[in-house]
Amino acid sequence: MLRIEGISKTYPPASGALRLLMRTASDVPVVALRDVSLTVAPGEVVGLVGPNGAGKSTLFRIVATLLEPTAGTVTVDGFDLVSHPEEIRRRIGLVLEGARGVYGRLSGFNNLEFFGVMAGLDHASARRRARELLEMFGLADRDRRVFGYSSGMRVRLALARALVADPPFLLLDEPTRSLDPAGSAETMTLIRRLADAGRAVLFATHRLDEVRDGCDRVVVLTSGRVRFDGAPAGADLVALMEQTP
Ligand code: ADP
Ligand code: MG
């Protein structure tokens, strides 16, 4: 079980030098999450929806141990984020926003082989796992470089990468963002299959069709606050998405 309890996050103001470099950097603290709580159980697909800037990526970065929360706790199978980050990392597969995190100049096979070894598999197991995942995700043309992949293939490879160490929890940050409706439907089918195999999936999207059709539960996040947590059927998600502080 993934439990997120009372998570808040305030980004400190950017330093003067950083503000010069990044026009978007803020000179006041930015409150990205306010007292966010939610759970994801094995076998469950939970959709996290919210407009740009709602705090979705911040929440993913916190759960993936990349960013410390200002307040609140996260536990994964009872392990606490702050005291046992390595236990959390071992259990979580992460797909970053935009399905980045794979090497364009390597083939799909070499990417998965590399990340398998990085995850602690011996070389033979990493190669075996890479073949298995390429097969499973319909990427069996194993020598093709990722540069030449379509957006859909890139997303499938990013999912495969997240699965090299067979983690029971998946965090997918807008995996379908760059996909057409067919690619989105295909990704939702894959996500469902991964959950049916017993994994807990939390995935961010701003496509309401995906949460209506593909999720067991939907959590609506706007301005860093949870506005709704429940079954998508019957909820007026459009109205919920428009709530602000
Ligand atoms: P989403 O993924 O839902 O679009 P984010 O988590 O990326 O939302 O952003 C939530 C808020 O936090 C936004 O106001 C954003 O500008 C701000 N933010 C995100 N990352 C940083 C950062 N590294 N430093 C300061 N503010 C940030
Ligand atoms: Mg985001």
Instruction: Determine whether the shortest distance from the Cβ of 223 to ligand 1 is under 6 A.
Output: no
> Helix (H, G, I), strand (E, B), or coil: what is residue 166?
coil
Tokens matching residue 74: 């996260």
Average pLDDT, the chain: 91
User: What ligand 1 atom has the least distance to the C-alpha of 173?
Assistant: 2
- Spatial separation of the C-alpha atoms in residues 76 and 168, rounded to whole Å: 10
Q: What integer pLDDT is reported at residue 24 of this predicted model?
A: 66
- Spatial separation of the C-alpha atoms in residues 167 and 90, rounded to whole Å: 7
**Among the bound ligands, the one closest to the CA of 53:** 1
Is a pLDDT exceeding 70 seen at residue 220? Answer: yes
Pocket probe for ligand 1: among 7, 8, 9, 11, the residue whose CB has the most ligand atoms within 8 Å is 11
* Helix H or strand E encompassing 226: strand 225-230
Instruction: Catalogue the E-assigned strands of 2-134.
Output: 2-11, 30-40, 45-49, 71-76, 79-80, 92-95
Nearest-CA residue for ligand 1 atom 20 is 58
Mean pLDDT of 224-236: 93
Q: What integer pLDDT is reported at residue 61 of this predicted model?
A: 95
Nearest-CA residue for ligand 1 atom 23 is 11
Mean pLDDT of 198-217: 92
How are beta strands 217-222 and 225-230 bridged, if at all?
antiparallel
User: What ligand 1 atom has the least distance to the C-alpha of 59?
Assistant: 6
pTM greater than the 0.85 cutoff: yes
- Spatial separation of the C-alpha atoms in residues 123 and 170, rounded to whole Å: 24
- Spatial separation of the C-alpha atoms in residues 38 and 49, rounded to whole Å: 13
Q: What integer pLDDT is reported at residue 80 of this predicted model?
A: 96
What are the pLDDT digits (tens) for 18-68? 667 766 667 788 999 999 999 999 999 999 999 999 999 999 999 999 999
Which amino acid appears at position 208 of this protein? L
CB 150 within 8 A of CB 100: no
Nearest-CA residue for ligand 1 atom 19 is 58
- Edge-to-edge order in the sheet of strand 45-49: 92-95, 169-173, 200-205, 45-49, 217-222, 225-230
Q: What integer pLDDT is reported at residue 100 of this predicted model?
A: 76
Instruction: Determine whether the shortest distance from the Cβ of 11 to ligand 1 is under 6 A.
Output: yes
Share of the chain above pLDDT 70, in %: 96
Q: How many CA atoms lie within 13 A of 223 on its CB side?
A: 6
